[in-house]
Homo-oligomer: A and B are copies of this chain.
Amino acid sequence: MLPFDVSEYQARLSRVKKEMTGKGIDVLLVTDPANMNYLSGFDAWSFYVHQMLVVDLQEEQPLWIGRFMDAGAARVTTWMQDEFISGYPDTYVHSDVLHPMMYVADMLKLKGFARKRIAVEMDHYYFTAKAFMELQRELPDAAFTDGGLLVNRVRMVKSDQEIEYMKKAARLAENAMKNGVNTIRAGNRECDAAAMIYYHIIAGTSEGGGDYPSIVPLLPTGKNTSIPHLTWTDRTFQEGESVIVELAGCCRRYHVPLARTVTIGTPSTRMVTLGKVAVEGINTVLDGLRPGMTCGEAEALWRNSISRHGFVKESRLGYSVGLNYPPDWGEHTASIRSTDRTVLKPNMTFHIIPGLWFDEDGIEISETIRITETGCEPFTNYPRELLVNMPSTIAEQGEIS
């Protein structure tokens, strides 16, 4: 059932421990579900309650702590032995008097960590302000430090097996984009397109189905193409509108996002221009990316390309991507922006998303890429252009079988 050899998990753990040693950390509390999965294999929709992996420098296996009813998921999805899995009683869940971190603190004391240097992931969704306060109160003699992004940074360079899963995710993304775009025509509703995308992301092909992506398909339409994170409604598409489709295929929690913009009927001159600027910009970036370059240098390729046409983009051009859980598929480490000095290395993976958003419209044409030994390589093979759905060019809609 494990998606990777146990030796791969152990190698990851070794790299994390090396970082911990360098920073003088005795114990790392891992609450980011992607980091938990990366080190242990743990995979369940249980991150809505408090849970964590305890990485002890002195121990060969991490310790999973979570709700008792999810301990079974830890047993079937991780490589750890039963004694490294500990469930807290249901009375700790959404309670006025008990907090799961009281249980965690008891476990940490039992392990002899009461006076140790303990790192926590300070800015992660699933490590709340209250969780930290409870830990500090229960372990007054421990020295807490921020271990945020420590594991995320170890995750940035992918293994060959991780790249294989991303390649499978790319097939899911292409297939869902094709079927979704075909649904975007006058008279259909936004929810019809979203439903079709979801169906194909998950059913996949006979070669393999897909996981849930960490973000739902985003479908800003018409004037709302100026607003990137709106989700669908059951409003009907109109002739002449344009629609941005941003989705991801997901295989074993590894994501390959893909964005395209489609017009229903003949595009306006302005949309054609925006399409050309966006495509020229992303092509320039993909042609120019090299290992050894910094993220800032990569962003300059794009900035120079669009500035020739008089455009400026405030938001970052892209971000490190791969393994994740809701609410985000980005890895929260490197961003392709002018101030980021991260050096690109082979098998780093990025979502390059040159979105141009204005007051009344916008466009997105993106690629997820892998840095290679000599340049970069997109995961998906999908027409890199403004897509145009003329009524006569719309293929038969997909069927569920």
Q: Which of A259-267, A300-308, A323-331, A386-394 contacts B (4 or more CB under 8 A)?
A: A323-331
Interface mask (A191-232 → B, CB under 8 Å = 1, otherwise 0): 110111011111110001111100110100000101111111
Partner among B146, B199, B333, B399 whose Cβ is within 8 Å of the Cβ of A195: B199
Q: Are A129 and B126 in contact (CB under 8 A)?
A: no
Q: Mark the stretch among A53-61, A117-125, A157-165, A274-282 that contacts chain B.
A: A117-125
Quote the shortest CB–CB distance from A336 to chain B (angstroms): 11
In Å, the complex CA distance between A209 and B357 comes to: 27
Q: Which residues of B contact A48 (CB under 8 A)?
A: 125, 215, 327-328, 330
Contacts of A202 in B (CB 8 A): 191, 194-195, 198, 232
Q: Are B128 and A94 in contact (CB under 8 A)?
A: no
Bound: A196/B327 CA distance, A: 23
For A231, list chain B residues within 8 Å (CB): 43-45, 211-212
Contact flag A234-B204 (CB < 8 Å), given A45-B216, A94-B319 = yes
Q: Are B204 and A191 neighbours in the complex by a CB distance under 8 Å?
A: yes
A82 CB contacts on chain B under 8 angstroms: none
Tell me, in angstroms, the Cα distance from A209 to B193 when the chains sit together. Answer: 11
Which of A4-12, A130-138, A285-293, A368-376 makes up part of the contact surface?
A130-138
Copies in the assembly, this chain: 2
Residue of B nearest to A198 (CB): B198
Interface status of A127 (Cβ within 8 A of chain B): yes
Within 8 A of B (CB), among A355-376: 357
A191-B210, A229-B45 known; A316+B400 contact, CB < 8 A = no
**Closest Cβ neighbor of A44 among chain B residues:** B229
* Chain B nearest Cβ from A298, distance in angstroms: 16
Q: List B contacts of A315 (CB < 8 A).
A: 69, 90, 93
Residue of B with least CB distance to A66: B229
Interface-side segment among A16-24, A70-78, A108-116, A344-352:
A70-78
Contact between A189 and B209 (Cβ–Cβ < 8 Å)?
yes
Q: Does A46 contact B (CB under 8 A)?
A: yes
Cβ-neighbour of A128 out of B125, B224, B232 (below 8 A): B125
Interface centre among A123, A124, A333, A398 (most CB of B within 10 A): A123
Tell me the nearest residue of chain B to A327, going by C-beta: B48
Supposing A43-B231, A189-B209, A215-B45 touch, asked if A133 and B128 sit within 8 A by C-beta, the answer is: no
Which residues of B have CB within 8 Å of A192?
203, 209
Bound together, the chains give a CA A208 to CA B189 distance in angstroms of 10
In the bound complex, residues from chain B placing their C-beta under 8 Å from that of A189 are 209
With A314-B89, A400-B397 in contact, do A69 and B228 touch (Cβ < 8 Å)? yes
> Is A332 engaged at the interface, CB distance under 8 Å to the other chain?
yes
| Set of chain B residues within 8 Å of A44, measured between Cβ atoms | 227, 229-231
Interface membership of A81, Cβ < 8 A: no
Residue A311 CB within 8 A of the other chain: no
**Which 4 pairs, one residue from A and one from B, show the smallest C-beta to C-beta distance?**
A191-B209, A129-B132, A195-B203, A209-B234
List chain A positions with a Cβ less than 8 A from chain B.
43-48, 68-70, 72-73, 76-77, 89-91, 93-94, 99, 120, 122-133, 146, 148, 189-192, 194-196, 198-204, 208-212, 215-216, 218, 224, 226-234, 314-316, 319, 326-328, 330, 332-333, 335, 337, 339, 357, 397-401
